[in-house]
Every structure is written in C-alpha cells, then in structure tokens.
Structure 1
Amino acid sequence: MGAGIVAGRAGLAWGAARLGFDALETYKNSSFQPVETQMGPMIQMLIRTSTEAPVTQKAERVGWKIG
C-alpha cells in the first residue's frame, strides 16, 4: 500500500504506476550470469517477465487512491 501512496502523491497515473511496479518485479526475478564470448567475458541478463500477486496489486491500488 505504501508504494501506491507514493505513486499517487507523485501524480502518476495508475497505468504508469502499475508498469513501474511490474518492471521492478521483473527486475527482482531476473538474474545476471557471466558468459564467455569470443570477445571475452561478458554479463548476460536473464529476464523473467513478472507481475505482482493480485492481493499486492489491490493493496497498491488502495494506496494509490489514498495518495
């Protein structure tokens, strides 16, 4: 709910806030792995697209309305 309040007070539209929340969830569920390439060692990001649980989304929405 706290994140929703912050987003609401910042004037974010609900869709923009949801996009940001889901982007953070995707980042948290992704990982970085070192890989060896012909150009030398590099880092590869494995992205796992994620959305938050419905109960979390509902709490954020309530907070957004309050904010």
Structure 2
Amino acid sequence: MATKENDQIVKENNCETKMDLPCVLDAFTSIFETGSNSNRCCGKLVGLGKVCHSALVKRTLDLYSKT
C-alpha cells in the first residue's frame, strides 16, 4: 500500500489520536531497544486496532525507506 493510501486510512480512523506521544516513543523504544513496554502503553497499542496499527507501521516504514 502506498503512503498516500496509508495516510488516508490514518485520517479516516483517527489513528494518530489514539496514542499519546509518550506511548508512541515507548513503543518505538521497545521495538528497537528494550523489547518491552509499559502496561499502559501496551493497552493503548492494542487499542489502536489492526487497521490503525498496520497503516501506521506501513506509513512509517515507507517514509523511512525513502530517506
């Protein structure tokens, strides 16, 4: 899926409002450094749902693969 399609999915589902910045940073840190995140942030990550999670991950990977 192209970035434009993922952007649309993110907007339509209000994906960016479902997690606060500290939890976004916690999720990235857990993926790339620690391997675990807080219970609060884990709950928010699960609460994103599959559609938002997939669109956000694909958009992030697509953006970083172009740099």
TM-score by length of 2: 0.28
Rg bigger for which structure?
1
TM-score by length of 1: 0.28
> Comparing both structures, which one devotes a greater share of its residues to strand?
1
